[in-house]
Amino acid sequence: MQKVPDGSSKILVAASGGGHWDELMLLRPALDRFNPVYVTTNARLAARDRVGDIRVLPDANRDQLLKGFRCFFAAFKLIMKEKPDIVLSTGALPGLFCVIIAKMAGARTIWVDSIANSDAPSLSGRIARPFSSLWVTQWEHLARSDNARYFGALL
C-alpha cells in the first residue's frame, strides 16, 4: 500500500455530475484534510455541496465525439496548469481524461469504479485500469482480477 500524502502533495479529484459526483462526495471527509482541487462537470452540484476550490470541465460521453475532444483538451489544460501529484476519480469520461493525462504527466492516479457496475467494471474503469496506480472496485467479487482492490462500498 502506498503511503498517505503528507500534505505537501497536490491532490486533484474529479467526477462527472450526478452519481459519480455523489460517490466522490462520500469520500470527501477523508479527502478534505488534504485540501484537494475538486473537478466536476456541474458547478451547481459543487455549490450544493459547498465545495469551494472547484474547477469545471465540459461534460461529454462516449457518444459525443466533438464534446469529447473539447473535454479532453480542457482536462489536458487543467492538469498541466494544476500539476497534481495525485489524481483520484470516480468517473466518468471527464474523470477518465484527468486520470490518463495525469498518469502520462507522472502523477499517481486512483480510479474508484462506480457501485452501479456490479457485474463487470465500467467501460471508463476498464480503460482507466492501465493508467491507474490504484484501481478500486466497490464489489468484492470484481477485486479478484489484476490490479483491482476492494476496500468496501461507498453506498
pLDDT tens, position by position, 80-90: 999 999 999 99
pLDDT of 155 reads 52
Sheet containing strand 108-112, strands side by side: 54-56, 37-40, 11-15, 86-91, 108-112, 134-137, 148-150
The verdict on residue 2 lying in a domain is no
The verdict on residue 35 lying in a domain is yes
pLDDT of 7 reads 64
pLDDT of 140 reads 74
The verdict on residue 154 lying in a domain is no
The verdict on residue 88 lying in a domain is yes
| Number of domains, the chain | 1
* Structural domain of 16: 11-149
pLDDT tens, position by position, 26-72: 999 999 999 999 999 999 999 999 998 899 999 999 999 999 999 99
The verdict on residue 36 lying in a domain is yes
The verdict on residue 3 lying in a domain is no
- More confident position, 146 or 155: 146
CATH of the domain at 145: 3.40.50.2000
The pTM for the full model equals 0.91
